[in-house]
């Protein structure tokens, strides 16, 4: 009897221990299954995994795909920068690989390798300079070559963008020389045409012929205003990138005066509101005089030319945060919605009847604002007038 009881207790003990083991294994399996499902859901994996090995293998494959896509994305970014002639390279610290575009290759002498990547340690001279950079923007000199290097740092990588300072300065000088040459060549014949048109206006009595002479004189005056902008561009001094508010105010009055005949003929009312900035006339803005003249002359002339007869033009200067706002508003026909994307493009929209014609004025304004580090805001609607605001930073 006692032997039977002992045997039964042993059986019960074994059964209980087995139950605990099975329960523990089931819980472990359940937790593993739940963990696998969480990982599947988190990484968007479509399979129903039964073990970690299959999951790990698929994760490795997904990682390889991501690395391949990232490599292609880096390559695409470098190609996009290449289209704008930006010499750029991507350096990954861990692999020590420098991936670069063709502009970078031309600049540092890698064109003959016909490759798109290289170990940064194999890069002669430049490799050492790039790895030892202490600031995110530096100017480096190699022989007679001067380069500006900009660095964008990540956790385990960085981007480099190189600019040839001497080439940029040479290109800028050539642009200024060409602009000055065009202005000089146009100045003399325009002066002659202006003299003859004024003489005809004084001498001719026949109404029909007199009207034609007035049209000729108007176009000559328009060309004079355009060449005045060229003159300011040609005379821009890179060392003088600031302008006092009082000079800008005088410039605005000068532009209004040059359009006085048009204002009188069409009986347009021009209002100026400079009261808020009067006591800060000596404060300096971050635009050159040439760029400010381009902005003022184009915005004011557009508000006058494309306005309706008996219209209103309001010109204001006021402060907003850390900028001076130059605002030109009119109550003309406005800019149609479909034309708004075209107004700042070369030969884009410019018309007083809602149509499209060729013009360069607002494109020049956009470039001038870009050079000065400002921004443009446009508010306009069909038949509700147009308001242009230029935000000019202070220095």
| Average confidence (pLDDT) per 10 residues, the chain, 395 residues | 60 68 66 61 56 62 70 71 76 80 81 77 78 82 80 81 80 72 74 82 83 81 72 59 89 89 90 92 88 90 90 94 92 82 70 53 87 89 86 88
CATH class in words for 240-395: alpha beta
Taking the C-alpha atoms of residue 326 and residue 255, their distance in angstroms, rounded to an integer, is 14
Return the pLDDT at 355.
47
Return the pLDDT at 354.
46
Token output for 39: 């990982």
Dihedral, 272, 278, 281, 283 alpha carbons, nearest 10:
-110
Return the pLDDT at 234.
59
Cα 206 from chain centroid?
Answer: 54
- Cα torsion angle, 225, 228, 232, 233, sign: positive
Taking the C-alpha atoms of residue 153 and residue 59, their distance in angstroms, rounded to an integer, is 28
Return the pLDDT at 145.
77
Return the pLDDT at 232.
65
CB 289 within 8 A of CB 232: yes
CB 125 within 8 A of CB 142: yes
Taking the C-alpha atoms of residue 258 and residue 254, their distance in angstroms, rounded to an integer, is 6
Distances (CA, A) of 58 to 31, 35, 66: 20, 16, 12
β-sheet bridge partners, residue 314: 271, 329
Taking the C-alpha atoms of residue 290 and residue 293, their distance in angstroms, rounded to an integer, is 5
CB 161 within 8 A of CB 88: yes
CB under 8 Å, gap of 24 or more: what pairs does 365-373 form? 365/294, 365/295, 365/298, 365/299, 365/390, 368/287, 368/290, 368/291, 368/292, 368/294, 368/295, 369/291, 369/295, 371/287, 371/288, 371/291, 372/241, 372/285, 372/286, 372/287, 372/288, 372/291, 373/286
- Identify the CATH number of the domain defined by range 62-167: 3.30.450
Token output for 110: 């890698």
Domain coordinates in residue numbering, the chain: 62-167, 240-395
């Amino acid at each position: 009897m006692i032997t039977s009881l002992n045997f039964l207790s042993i059986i019960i003990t074994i059964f209980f221990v087995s139950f605990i083991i099975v329960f523990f294994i089931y819980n472990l399996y359940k937790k593993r299954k739940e963990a696998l499902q969480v990982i599947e859901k988190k990484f968007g994996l479509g399979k129903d995994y039964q073990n970690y090995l299959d999951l790990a293998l698929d994760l490795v494959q997904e990682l390889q795909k991501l690395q391949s896509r990232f490599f292609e994305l880096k390559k695409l970014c470098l190609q996009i920068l290449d289209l704008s002639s930006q010499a750029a390279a991507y350096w990954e610290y861990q692999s020590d690989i420098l991936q670069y575009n063709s502009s970078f290759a031309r600049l540092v002498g890698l064109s003959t390798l016909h490759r798109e990547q290289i170990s940064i340690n194999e890069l002669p001279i430049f490799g050492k300079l790039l790895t030892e950079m202490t600031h995110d923007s530096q100017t480096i000199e190699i022989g007679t070559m001067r380069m500006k290097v900009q660095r964008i740092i990540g956790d385990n990588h960085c981007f480099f963008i190189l600019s040839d300072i001497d080439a940029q300065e040479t290109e800028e000088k050539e642009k200024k020389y060409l602009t000055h040459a065009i202005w000089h060549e146009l100045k003399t014949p325009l002066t002659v045409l202006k003299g003859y048109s004024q003489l005809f206006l004084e001498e001719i009595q026949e109404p029909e012929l007199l009207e034609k002479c007035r049209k000729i004189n108007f176009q000559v005056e328009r060309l004079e205003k355009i060449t005045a902008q060229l003159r300011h561009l040609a005379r821009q001094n890179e060392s003088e990138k600031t302008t006092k508010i009082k000079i800008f105010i005088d410039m605005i009055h000068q532009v209004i005066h040059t359009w006085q005949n048009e204002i009188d003929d069409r009986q347009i009312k021009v209002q100026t509101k400079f009261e808020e900035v009067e006591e800060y006339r000596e404060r300096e803005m971050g635009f050159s005089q040439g760029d400010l003249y381009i902005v003022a002359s184009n915005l004011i002339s557009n508000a006058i030319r494309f306005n309706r007869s008996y219209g209103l033009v309001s010109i204001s200067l006021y402060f907003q945060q850390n900028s001076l706002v130059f605002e030109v508003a009119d109550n003309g026909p406005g800019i149609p919605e479909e034309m708004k994307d075209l107004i700042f493009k070369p030969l884009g929209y410019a018309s007083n009847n809602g149509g499209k014609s060729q013009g360069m004025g607002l494109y020049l304004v956009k470039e001038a604002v870009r050079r000065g580090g400002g921004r443009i805001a446009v508010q306009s609607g069909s038949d509700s007038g147009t308001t242009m605001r230029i935000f000019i930073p202070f220095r």
